[in-house]
Structure 1
């Protein structure tokens, strides 16, 4: 079954320095139909103004993956880690027993990113932070695993959740076939472009929950970039 979450149906918040759309219910007043998919509980589409950012704040027992779509993200945390994550690259943070961090726009244009939160397999554990470059050319016409809770996904950022975060770029007219195990679900977002998923059209920034489906056929009508979480 495909359950679309069109851009205009998403919950939203506007704090001036931060404009956010929520694929999943975050605050009271959000779309009550946008419930978690498996252990995927948050997918925020954030735009952070130049000079803006989140001050130091804490997380616990959550796997947080950040996919940068535009601009440069700056990161600092209580582990002493610092980094800059550029468009197309990814960071993964296992909050574990507790971590504090700050995230901010390090560039000279609005910073656009996805914040994806997954519940871990088990609570606790030492907090961790990692980042990695994922050139878009490497995922042209094929899904590449960016972050994974499975040891056989070589090259992916490690997370402690029963999930994978994947991405693909498609040229206009290209199509791709993806197989989900019968026990799995997925959530897919069109970062840019226009596609059809199992024959149903999706515009840029739309999302879709994919449940009780094993075969996913995606056809690109325009050059497109897709991000997906495969979850138990």
Structure 2
């Protein structure tokens, strides 16, 4: 198993006043040929949007777009007629397919912190779809909550609201955890690529990462230490086991991708 660190301070970032954002991959005015995509994973943006502001109506097509809400409330409206206010624990997935238009704004007086993630679907020209799921902190505490899975996977329900992971038309599974101090979690990869990201929960920080602290290792690979905002590319053979340990002084919120 091989790890390549993606330090938080090296991500693309911008402070637009109303929006503070980080880009793991090339996005908008940020471009880095070494960090353009990873398998079907195309975007991981960690966004903080100020109250009474947001992203006006804009178009998307041929991407699977999901939002993972960390704090605050985000109002979503789209051309399919969906209107929803999302809160902590909510995950929304829009399969843009042949084309949709949507807007996203803060709802209420609190800044909203969320991760916007895009993947490339295996099939082009899909009909647009919208899914929403909720995963409580208890469901994530010291275990992996399976929050996104391929639409054809066992147990995935292709309905707007349902239990279990949100359907995605990409070869990608996404897991989330709230890992307590001193605790470990393992994951056995089903594919050859992975990406791990430590959510920057303690505040916007463009300098060297701080806050929660985890250590990742695997078969003949690692260990690699990560703090808030840090990530790592993972190369693994199917069946290899990843171990994530919280070696810091606080709970760590972690996202783990298993993908092609």
- The TM-score by the shorter chain falls in which range? over 0.9
Provide the secondary structure at the position in 1 that maps to 2:138. Answer: helix
Structure 2 partner of 1:124: 125
CA distance in 2, matches of 1:29, 1:103: 21
Is the Cα contact below 8 Å between 2:97 and 2:127 reproduced in 1?
yes
CA distance in 1, matches of 2:125, 2:256: 26
Aligned length in residues: 231
Query: Structure 1 segments of 4 or more deviating over 6 A?
Result: none
CA distance in 2, matches of 1:63, 1:114: 14
Structure 1 partner of 2:23: 22
Unaligned runs of 5+ in 2: 157-163, 202-211, 218-222
TM (norm. structure 1) is 0.95
CA distance in 1, matches of 2:29, 2:58: 21
Structure 2 partner of 1:219: 245
Q: Alpha-carbon deviations, 1:7-41, whole Å to 9, x = none?
A: 10001122221111101111454333223111001
CA distance in 1, matches of 2:25, 2:235: 16
CA distance in 1, matches of 2:256, 2:213: 15
Structure 1 partner of 2:97: 96
Is the Cα contact below 8 Å between 1:163 and 1:230 reproduced in 2?
yes
CA distance in 1, matches of 2:71, 2:253: 13
Structure 2 partner of 1:9: 10
Higher mean alpha-carbon deviation, 42-51 vs 151-160, is at 151-160
Structure 1 partner of 2:205: none
TM (norm. structure 2) is 0.85
How far did 1:100 drift?
0.4
CA RMSD of aligned residues (A): 1.4
CA distance in 1, matches of 2:108, 2:119: 27
2:256 counterpart of 1:228: yes
Is the Cα contact below 8 Å between 1:9 and 1:31 reproduced in 2?
no
Unaligned runs of 5+ in 1: none
Structure 2 partner of 1:208: 232
